[in-house]
Structure 1
Amino acid sequence: MEARRWLQGVDFAADRPLINVSQAAPVDPPPQALRQAMADAALHNVEAHLYGPVLGLPELRAELAGVTARHYGGTVTPAQVCITSGCNQAFAAAIATLCAEGDEVILPTPWYFNHKMWLDMSGVSAIPLATEADLLPDPDRAAALITSRTRAIAMVTPNNPGGVEYPAELVQAFFDLARRHGIALILDETYRDFDSRSGPPHALFQDPDWADTLIHLYSFSKAYRLTGHRVGAMLTSETRLAEAEKFLDTVAICPAQLGQHAALWGMRNLGQWLAGERDEILARRAAITEHFPRLEPSGWKLLGLGGYFAYLQHPFAQSAATLAPELVRSAGILCLPGTMFHPQGDDGGARELRIAFANLDAPGIGVLFDRLESLRQG
């Protein structure tokens, strides 16, 4: 929201429109067939207008359990799935079941700022875990941060904001670390449908007792362009979901019915369409790889790439906190500074910018790099 305010009072020429790479959300509507299914539900399904089960439609819970089990080669039951009003609410519900005021959650940096903000508002300390040069967190460093107040380690893969895809063995190492210490591993895989790897990205669901440690988060928003309908999910133990149900009932009563029906229809009917969406995102990722060498002579570095994101290190003396607003005026680019994804005063964030490329096609990415390349002359 802060970044949007940078646009106030700035005019963009028709031949040089704003390139908005600030938000990782599709701006196109769902495909026509899905919108038709939603319209049919609104017109003909009376129950779609009433309160539904707090933990979500049983059919959607069962469908997601089956899809997840097949995708990861493991076992998931419908009773281990709940549907939430977006993935951010799934994280909030998870924290409500884990933490009291004064507890701690370890977050790798650069972190997803909504996770940090929710912890702040809950009176929970976000303990920063600095990542390595490849933006991957180190389990040994994390182990040194665990205290008697630690309740969870929270990770996002493919990562927001860094884009990196966590290797299966790294995810397993963090799961094993969390289990040894009796804490939870919160694994947010909002962007899993756009992972460049084939096959399961990790083997956690193949552990018969995965639910004693893992809290898995997922979003339908990116897969089916349902951002405005707020449909996410949390997969964990039945015992934890019984506690989460109290939180969810209090803040929303139930997830939005039409959004749930849309997600269910999408999972049953849009597999091939979603594969095409993934191919398009991977093509845009490849375009960034192709164009980035143009920036390297002037000192730019590509720190991470994947999912919806490219994470860059800029070569300028000024902080990204002042550079990012200036880019709106000087280059017609709206992106987010790394300072938004690091603890206050962390020098690393001052050199970093996040580019969200989900809404920029390959030619548009070329134009973006034209503008970034021209900055060395300005």
Structure 2
Amino acid sequence: MSLTRTSATFAPPVMEARRWIAGVAFPAERPLINVSQAAPVDPPPEALRQVMAEVALSRDDAHLYGPVLGLPELRAELAGRTAAHYGGAVAPEQVAITSGCNQAFAAAIAALCGEGDEVILPTPWYFNHKMWLDMSGVRAVPLPCGDGLLPDPQRAATLITERTRAIALVSPNNPGGVEYPADLLRAMFELARDRGLALILDETYRDFHSAPGAPHDLFADPDWADVLIHLYSFSKSFRLTGHRVGAIVAAQAFLAEVEKFLDTVAICPSQIGQHAALWGLRNLTQWLAGERDEILARRAAIERGLPMLGDRGWELLGVGAYFAYFAHPFAESSAELAPRLVREQSVLCLPGTMFQPADAQAGARQLRIAFANLDAAGIATLYDRLAAVEG
């Protein structure tokens, strides 16, 4: 029997981890702490939900197929916001709306790559990126990150072959949380330009970056569209995870290729979700600033409580946006440790083995904690439980 596209990759990690809690009884004094998935658990703010309800009730066209590349008003609004935020020039025709940011990545790869082509992914990598490359017949070339979980452009250069089509980065990073410095992003951009590659930059968590202002100046380059494929998501910013609204910002000619993929897979993004994203961009700036402040406060709580774990041999490798990425001190692999944490400490998190190649040793000592849905008290409780783990 031939290998199918889906059998070429692994099972969805978050779904796999959820199986660990099946049949486990969590005592009342130690309820489950679920830090496995980076998604808001609260619904959108009430004002936004009211807008969505009004759209559903009063706009007949919201229930019909819409433009494949998204609502013109949303494309124009995001183009303007992107240009203003990064200090560059972005036209509405250079924006496509997608059914979530995962679909944006999938569409970009479909438009860039053929069978047997290669894409460089820093490790630890975002597992859905690796899964899509596997299912597309595209080889994911691992670029192991060094100190601070930062990818090295010079090392990336040594991995480029005649089949390389792109370098794909996520910043702030999933799973590591690390915010890539502007000079590193510029170096990767220049490397891609010099070697005739695309730079795919996924900034799903941009709105929770710890630094004020633009995290890079790539859009200020007059020829950015020759190199950059920028991905964005409204899922985290406006809590629209269930409505699946993401975006690609890229060259207009490239989006003509992307349109073929989108039309075949989903025809158009969610109409109600798009109207919600548009209203959010125009009306929720202050609300989103408050959300960012809260995420930064939780990040500070992660850093503030670290000595408790540091004294027991844990190491914080990276933190930012929704994530803290740890090295644990135990001899057992994180693939065994993570399910044990469910049973013994009522903590559900993901092992580093889910973010590394199967033959990489580093993942065995790593764990990802998605802390964005824990307040400071919840983070303190999490630390108490991790500190109680015995090897």
TM-score category (smaller protein): over 0.9
Does residue 214 (structure 1) correspond to residue 235 (structure 2)? The answer is no
Q: Which residue of 1 aligns with 2:274?
A: 260
Select which of 156, 159, 173 maps to 2:173: 159
Return the alpha-carbon distance in structure 2 between the equivalents of residues 345 and 169 of structure 1: 31
Select which of 22, 32, 35 maps to 1:8: 22
Return the alpha-carbon distance in structure 2 between the equivalents of residues 52 and 70 of structure 1: 27
Q: Which residue of 1 aligns with 2:120?
A: 106
Return the alpha-carbon distance in structure 1 between the equivalents of residues 132 and 385 of structure 2: 35
Return the alpha-carbon distance in structure 2 between the equivalents of residues 74 and 16 of structure 1: 50
Deviations 1:31-74 (A, max 9, x none): 00000000000011111011000000000000101111111111
Select which of 369, 382, 386 maps to 1:368: 382
Q: Which residue of 2 aligns with 1:80?
A: 94
Return the alpha-carbon distance in structure 2 between the equivalents of residues 342 and 281 of structure 1: 26
Return the alpha-carbon distance in structure 2 between the equivalents of residues 307 and 223 of structure 1: 11
Give the aligned residue type for 1:34.
L
Runs of 4+ in 1 over 4 A off after TM superposition: none
TM-score by length of 2: 0.96
Give the aligned residue type for 2:349.
C
Structure 2 counterparts to residues 178-217 of structure 1, below 5 A? 178-217=192-231
SS of corresponding position for 2:236: helix
Deviations 1:192-242 (A, max 9, x none): 000000111000000011011000000000000000000000000000000
Return the alpha-carbon distance in structure 2 between the equivalents of residues 233 and 241 of structure 1: 11
Return the alpha-carbon distance in structure 2 between the equivalents of residues 70 and 25 of structure 1: 27
Q: Which residue of 2 aligns with 1:127?
A: 141
Select which of 153, 161, 186 maps to 1:172: 186
- In the alignment of these two chains, the number of paired residues is 377
Give the aligned residue type for 2:197.
I
Return the alpha-carbon distance in structure 1 between the equivalents of residues 141 and 189 of structure 2: 18
Percent of matched pairs sharing the same residue: 74
Structure 2 counterparts to residues 273-284 of structure 1, below 5 A? 273-284=287-298
Return the alpha-carbon distance in structure 1 between the equivalents of residues 242 and 66 of structure 2: 19
Structure 2 counterparts to residues 1-378 of structure 1, below 5 A? 1-376=15-390
1:308 Cα shift?
0.3
Give the aligned residue type for 2:158.
A
Return the alpha-carbon distance in structure 2 between the equivalents of residues 67 and 15 of structure 1: 47
Give the aligned residue type for 2:373.
N
Return the alpha-carbon distance in structure 2 between the equivalents of residues 199 and 29 of structure 1: 27
Return the alpha-carbon distance in structure 1 between the equivalents of residues 141 and 317 of structure 2: 22
1:134 Cα shift?
0.8
Give the aligned residue type for 1:155.
L
Return the alpha-carbon distance in structure 2 between the equivalents of residues 284 and 230 of structure 1: 26
Give the aligned residue type for 2:275.
H
Return the alpha-carbon distance in structure 2 between the equivalents of residues 245 and 98 of structure 1: 13
TM-score by length of 1: 0.99
Return the alpha-carbon distance in structure 2 between the equivalents of residues 320 and 180 of structure 1: 39
Deviations 1:114-157 (A, max 9, x none): 00000000000000001002100000000000000000000000
Give the aligned residue type for 1:28.
D
SS of corresponding position for 1:43: helix
Structure 2 alignment gaps of length 5 or more? 1-14
SS of corresponding position for 2:43: coil
CA RMSD of aligned residues (A): 0.6
1:106 Cα shift?
0.2
Return the alpha-carbon distance in structure 2 between the equivalents of residues 63 and 268 of structure 1: 8
Give the aligned residue type for 2:42.
D
Give the aligned residue type for 1:294.
M
